[in-house]
Every structure is written in structure tokens, then in C-alpha cells.
Structure 1
Amino acid sequence: MENTQQLIAINKPLKLDIEHYGHWKVNMQQIIQGIDLEAWISVEEGWTHPVTKDANGKEIPKPKKSWSAEEKLEAKFNAKALSAIFTSLPRNQFTRVQGCTSAKEAWDILQVSFEGTSNVKRTCIDMLESEFESLTMGAGDSIDDFSSKLSSIRQEAIVLGKNYKDKKLVKKFLRSLPTKFQSHKSAIEVALNSDDLKFDHVVGMMQAYELQLKKKEQTVGKGLALMADRSVEIEDQVSMMVKKYFGKYEAGQRGGSSSQFKSGAEKKFQKLDKQVC
């Protein structure tokens, strides 16, 4: 099982998208921890090549064959973490860290590159805040679509050090709902204290209501379709009857019994009128 998971990770590696660095960062942390917790520790605390001293007392890199078991293990965890980071980078981003020998060094370079200094972080947070405030639920958006957009902004903000609490997310979510959700939104606000609600809980309630609306729309749609089909069927019957009786009427005129056919046609039309009504 372990070998299978490793193959999947190699075949479909996570790739860094510079516009969604926060998504990459959170996922990469979990991937490295999934490889081994010690691998993530090497990212946090760093790793240095073991050294030894030469005859003059100067520190020099220690030959690998002389490494202790502990030094080999630490190097192994660092290599795993560094490999995961390298594999996740597109070529144009890989050049930033290709000379790194420690996972921490590569991680820190990428973090500074995409998160920047405190001033850059503040600017990024302000941009997210603006995106959050201007976000609205479009006519074609589902509850899942819109809630996912809010959650994405929340996660990006967390990476930058800002956390949107459930209270703010719930208020933004309810405020952005279109008219068709108004009755259920009002029921929630009246029956429950929105300040105490969890964002995921409110989303779940609205998703359930959305399913009910879709079922009603489908039922109404089927009813209208049946009515339309019935109307077409009756129109066809009328058309056939007109042709049939018109032919008989002409024949009746020639035979002197047109009133008889005319009376029969009127009765048939009256019967169809009742079916339509």
C-alpha cells in the first residue's frame, strides 16, 4: 500500500501555481508530513551537511561513508522533503532553488518570493479583503460554488496571517444570497443566532434547501412538459378530424347529406374542447 501511494504521488505531483501560493503551501506541508514527520521537521529546523576536522583542525565536509546512522537518517529526511518541493515546482520556479541542498533553504526562498516582507503581506491581505467584500453570488452559482469561493479566500488569508472568523463568513454568505433563498435565510436569522453559527453549518442548511428548490423546479417542469405534450396531441387530433370531416362534408354536399356530417363534426369538436379544458 505504501509503495502504491508513493507511485501516485510521483505520477500526479502537486504543482505550484504562483497565483495560489497559499494553496500550494498548505498542501505541500501536508504532503511532506505524510512522507514522514521528521521530513517536515527538517523543513522547519533545517539540515546541514555533517562536517569533520582535518589535520589542521579546520572543518570540512564529512565523507558520506563516515556518516553515523543518525546523520544518514537526518540526511534522508531532508532529501525526501527537498525532493517533494523540487517535484512540485514548474521549470521557471525551480531555478530559484535549484542550488539548495536543504529543504528549509528552498522553503524559505519560496516563502520570501511569494509572501514577501511584512509590507508585501499587508498589501496581499488588503487585496484579499477587497475581493472578499466585492464577492457576490451570481445567478448561475450554486451554494457549493459560492461557499467554495469564500473558503478559498479564507484559506489564502490564513497563510498570510489573517483569519476570517465564522461570524464574518456567515454574515457575508447570508447577505450575498439571491432572492430565491430569502425565505429560508429569514427563517435562519429569526430562529437562530447567526453570531453563534458555524460557516459550514449554515452552508449545509442552504445546500439542503437548494436541493428542495431543484426538486420543485423539476416537478413543475415535468408538469408543464406533460401539458405541452397533451396539447400537441389534441392539436394533431383536431387536424386529423378537420381533414376527415372536411372530406366527408364535401362528399355529403355532393350526396345531399351535408347537415348530417356537419352535426357530427360539431359534436367531436365539443368533446375535444372539454379535454383541453
Structure 2
Amino acid sequence: METEKNKESTVGLNYPMLTRGNYTVWALKMKACMDAHGIWVAVSPKDPKAVVEEKKDKMALAVIYQGIPEDILLSIAEKETAKEAWEAVKVLCQGAERVKAARIQTLRSEFEAMIMKEGESLDDFCLKLNGLVTNIRTLGDEMAEAYVVKKVLRAMPHKFLQITSAIEQFGDLEKMSIEEVIGSLKAHEERLRGQPDASGGTNQLLLTEEEWRKKDKEESKLLD
């Protein structure tokens, strides 16, 4: 009689709560807890042909309900057995994980293919790039700041060669923030607008190798 009371009390225990990204760990913990209290057989009986005790099945179903958020609970509310409910949660979570992984892959491909086009403003390019990075991180994929910084430098058109070279040579890309890099690029862009070309326009002047080296040293001071 005491054993039955102990089993019935398992419904009131604090079981792990399922979240968007912890299904595998959640399932392992739930299985261990339910197995320890003798109700895991309702989900995965040793003999597939054996009839599960109604009380154990209801207890297991109640435990599953306790460990899932409301949106998933509403999705599986029509399942009548613990086994059916467990399988439904598995399909929902693993299916969502596959969709998420595919979405991350698509966004990463777009990120890698991004190149700032001639005539495109730096603000517009950075806005699109930051949007992709935010979406990727929101989906749970880690994208290091240094990785984004290096991508921005690679994506710049030729007119930014001077400043990107200076940043790569004299800056610590592993510690630099994307805001610092964009700030340096914007400062360089503003200086370019004030440099008239031979025809009176505002394009960048062609420089000798010695002049490039001198300007690289000047640009590097921005990073000190």
C-alpha cells in the first residue's frame, strides 16, 4: 500500500520543463525519472504486446503534461495514452529542430555570399548584414563576433582596401567589436567623399605604393 502511495506522489515531483532547444536532454531526464518510479513502461513497455496498467499509463501521461509548455500541451491534448503523447512530443520537437537547422543553413549561406556592391551605402549593407546575424543568433546558432568582423572586412569593395588592410594588419580581430569596425569604415568613407579626382569628382585618387604605406600607418592610428 505504501508503494502505491509513493508511486502516486510522483506526479507532484518537479520534472524538467521542455524548451525549444533542450529536447534531447529533457527526454533523457524524463526517461530516468519515470523509469525510477516504475511508470516508464507505459511509454516504452519491455513487451510491446503487454497491456499497460491503466493507472501507470495515466500517471505517465500526467508527468508528460507536467514537463511540457502549454503550446505543445494543446497540440497533443487528443492523445489518449502516454506512449502516444510521448511520440507526438518527439515528432514535434525533432521536426522543429530540422526546420530550424535548415533555416540556419540558409541564413548562413546568405551571410557568406554577402558582398557590398559598388554604389551601395555602407549603412544599407551593414543593416542587412546585422539583420542576418541577429536572425541566426536568435535561432540559437552561435556566431562569434570575430567571425562577423572578418566577414565584413572581406565583403568591402576596392575603395575600402586601404582601411581594411590597416585593420587586418594592426587591429586585434579577435577582440574587436563589429561596431568598432563599422565606425572605422564610416570614417574612411567620409574622408573619401572629400577627395576630388582629376576630373573634379569625389572619387579616390590613385596613390603610389609609398603613399599607400604612409596612409596605412595613418589609418592604423584609428585603432589604437
TM-score (structure 1 length as normaliser) = 0.37
Q: Normalized per residue, which structure has more helix?
A: 1
TM-score (structure 2 length as normaliser) = 0.46
Decide which structure has the larger Cα Rg and report it.
1
